[in-house]
């Protein structure tokens, strides 16, 4: 299944695009500014990005330039009719195509299929190796080993599975219930403390200052994520 990242600060547009794309069998990830899009692209395998140009926090052009530093994933820009200069700039600095809003669903799906087909023909989407990294943390899923700055770190099976989940979805926030359901494969009911204890143990093993973590972050009221604080 192809995974498509949709990024637009207008939630109605994101919702509409999700409906169109999921009806074609695609998996859809959502972002609402360029910074979120870059983090999601860096953290997992994305096969195509649909991204608005005019957004808060980080605009689509800036985000696309950053994405191009780490990935050759096709990027289709979503533009307004008045943004001709931005269209040209976007294509110049690495966009593969653009769609003018309001968009026609048939045209949208045709352009998405075309870019995916081209990407796969050029070798995109080939399986990556089994190593996930962030900063000094490296997880080798083939050998089931984790290192910190080259030194082995002994993790329990549960700690390993939580770390792998977060590394595979870098920048994405998971609630304690979501983590429990994905790692324990069970119904999450009153499991917040269980997850919190394992996160604390991970911090103690992987953070030089567990009280002020660089990687394993809590998003108050929402859950946990992993990202590199540079």
pLDDT for 128 beyond 60: no
Mean pLDDT throughout 109-138?
77
| Residue-level pLDDT at 92 | 64
Looking at per-residue confidence, does 102 or 163 come out higher? 163
Distances (CA, A) of 154 to 118, 139, 148: 43, 11, 10
Partner residues linked to 130 by β-bridges: none
Looking at per-residue confidence, does 5 or 129 come out higher? 5
What's the CA gap between 104 and 117, in Å, rounded?
20
pLDDT tens-digit map of 53-70: 889 899 988 998 888 888
Q: What percent of the chain has pLDDT over 90?
A: 44
pLDDT tens-digit map of 183-214: 988 776 767 888 999 999 999 999 989 999 98
Domain boundaries for CATH 1.10.10.10 within the chain: 131-226
Mean pLDDT throughout 47-57?
92
Mean pLDDT throughout 70-75?
87
Read off the pLDDT band of 230 (50, 70, 90).
low
pLDDT for 82 beyond 70: no
| Residue-level pLDDT at 124 | 66
pLDDT for 93 beyond 70: no
pLDDT for 35 beyond 60: yes
Which CATH number applies to 3-121: 3.40.50.300, 3.40.50.2300, 1.10.1240.10, 2.60.120.10? 3.40.50.2300
Average model confidence (pLDDT) across the chain:
86
Domain boundaries for CATH 3.40.50.2300 within the chain: 3-121
Distances (CA, A) of 123 to 115, 117, 126, 130: 12, 10, 6, 18
pLDDT for 106 beyond 90: no
| Residue-level pLDDT at 102 | 82
What's the CA gap between 124 and 80, in Å, rounded?
29
pLDDT for 88 beyond 70: no
| Residue-level pLDDT at 127 | 45
| Residue-level pLDDT at 98 | 84
Question: Mapping DSSP to helix (H, G, I), strand (E, B) and coil, where does residue 226 land?
Answer: strand
Q: What percent of the chain has pLDDT over 70?
A: 89
pTM: 0.55
Instruction: Determine the topology of domain 131-226 in CATH.
Output: Arc Repressor Mutant, subunit A (1.10.10)
Report DSSP state, residue 174.
Answer: B
215 class by beta-carbon count within 10 Å (0-12 exposed, 13-18 middle, 19+ buried): buried
pLDDT for 179 beyond 90: yes
């Amino acid at each position: 299944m192809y995974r498509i990242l949709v990024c637009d600060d207008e939630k109605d547009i994101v919702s509409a695009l999700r409906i169109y794309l999921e009806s074609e069998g695609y998996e859809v990830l959502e972002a609402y500014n360029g910074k979120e899009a870059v983090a999601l692209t860096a953290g997992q395998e994305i096969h195509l990005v649909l991204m608005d140009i005019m957004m808060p926090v980080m605009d689509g052009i800036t985000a696309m330039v950053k994405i191009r530093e780490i990935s050759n994933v096709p990027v289709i820009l979503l533009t307004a009719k008045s943004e001709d200069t931005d269209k040209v700039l976007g294509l110049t600095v690495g966009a593969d195509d653009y769609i003018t809003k309001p968009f026609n669903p048939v045209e949208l799906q045709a352009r998405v299929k075309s870019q995916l087909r081209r990407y796969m023909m050029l070798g995109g989407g080939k399986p990556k190796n089994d190593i996930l990294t962030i900063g000094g943390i490296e997880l080798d899923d083939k050998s089931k080993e984790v290192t910190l700055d080259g030194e082995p770190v002994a993790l329990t099976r549960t700690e390993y599975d939580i770390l792998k989940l977060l590394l595979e979805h870098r920048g994405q926030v998971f609630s304690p219930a979501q983590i429990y359901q994905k790692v324990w494969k069970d119904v999450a009911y009153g499991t917040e403390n269980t997850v919190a204890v394992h996160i604390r143990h991970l911090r103690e093993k992987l953070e030089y200052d567990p009280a002020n973590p660089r990687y394993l972050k809590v998003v108050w009221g929402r859950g946990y994520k992993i990202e590199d604080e540079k």
